[in-house]
Amino acid sequence: MNADTPVTGAVLVACPKCHSLVRVPEARAGEHPKCPRCKAPILSGEPVALDPVSFAAHVERATLPVLVDFWAPWCGPCRMMAPVLDRVAAQRATELRVAKVNTDEQPQLAGRFGIRSIPTLILFREGRELARQSGAVDAGTLGRWLERALV
Q: Where are the domains of the chain?
A: 44-149
Instruction: Report which of 77, 125, 108 is spatially closest to residue 85, judged by C-alpha positions.
Output: 77
120 by Cβ neighbours in 10 Å (0-12 / 13-18 / 19+) ranks as: buried
Integer angstrom CA distances of residue 60 from 28, 31, 78, 90, 151: 23, 25, 24, 22, 19
CATH architecture, domain 44-149: 3-Layer(aba) Sandwich (3.40)
Say what the pLDDT of residue 53 is: 94
Catalytic (active-site) positions: 75, 78
113 contacts 123 by C-beta, under 8 angstroms: no
The pTM (predicted TM-score) of the whole model is 0.91
Consecutive sets of 10 residues in the chain, 151 residues long: mean pLDDT of each?
A: 56 95 90 94 95 96 96 97 96 95 97 96 96 95 95 86
Say what the pLDDT of residue 9 is: 86
